[in-house]
Amino acid sequence: MLRVPRSLKSILNIINGESGTRYIVRGLIDGSLSALGVVIGASGSADASVIIAAGLGGGIANGLSNILGAFTAEKASLERERIQKEKSLLKKNGYLKKSIIYKKAIRETMICGLIDGVSTTLGSSLPVIPFFLFDVKTALYVAIFITILILFILGVFIGKISKENVIISGIKMVLGALLVAVLCFMIEKAF
């Protein structure tokens, strides 16, 4: 039987938990919508290599930004909470940093930030893939379709988790994708 290392088990538990799922969904939404905006904006160049470079570059930057943003925001929140607990316990500043609970929370924060960034980067690659396969005009429509499909599926998933109407939840996400597409086409046409 295959033994899973304890550190990998803790990562898998976070991914399967509420925090991990939230960061995966958020990252996929963020990545796919921002990359869709980039490919639509760059589509005026009619050069697939420019669109691919812009889409992948934007996706990597967005993913790394989300890793940094998620980690720093969550760590700041953890620090505020730790300081408040230390004050209520009448302990000196930094006392709880040595605790197992604090160390576990920092590890989970780092993992969640990584999950967010990787999910964002993966999500951003989806609207770019068609530009490897089709001419620019066709690829653009395929990219929009893929993004709409991914967001509908994520909306259904969100609806299922929140015990809402899954179709309405999916449609809400599609409307968000359509709004991004329309606004980005307007910007692309303006320049």
- pLDDT of 30-54, one tens digit each? 999 999 999 999 998 889 999 999 9
Q: What percent of the chain has pLDDT over 90?
A: 57
Q: How confident is the model at residue 77 (pLDDT cuts 50, 70, 90)?
A: confident
Q: Which residues contact 153 (CB under 8 A, 6 or more apart)?
A: 170
Higher-pLDDT residue of 86 and 180 is 180
Q: Would you mind telling me the total number of residues written for the chain in this entry? A: 191
- pLDDT of 149-168, one tens digit each? 999 999 999 999 899 999 99
Specify the pTM.
0.80
Q: What percent of the chain has pLDDT over 70?
A: 90
Higher-pLDDT residue of 6 and 70 is 70
Q: How confident is the model at residue 5 (pLDDT cuts 50, 70, 90)?
A: low
Instruction: Give the pLDDT of residue 15.
Output: 58
The residues spanned by each domain of the chain are: 19-140
Burial of 105 per CB tally in 10 Å (0-12, 13-18, 19+):
middle
Instruction: Give the pLDDT of residue 17.
Output: 62
Output DSSP code: residue 43: G
Cα gap 120→61, rounded to integer Å: 10
Cα gap 88→3, rounded to integer Å: 42
The Cα-based distances of 95 to 38, 76, 88, 155 in angstroms read 46, 17, 12, 43
- The answer, yes or no, to whether residue 90 has pLDDT greater than 90, is no
Instruction: Give the pLDDT of residue 81.
Output: 85
- The answer, yes or no, to whether residue 173 has pLDDT greater than 60, is yes
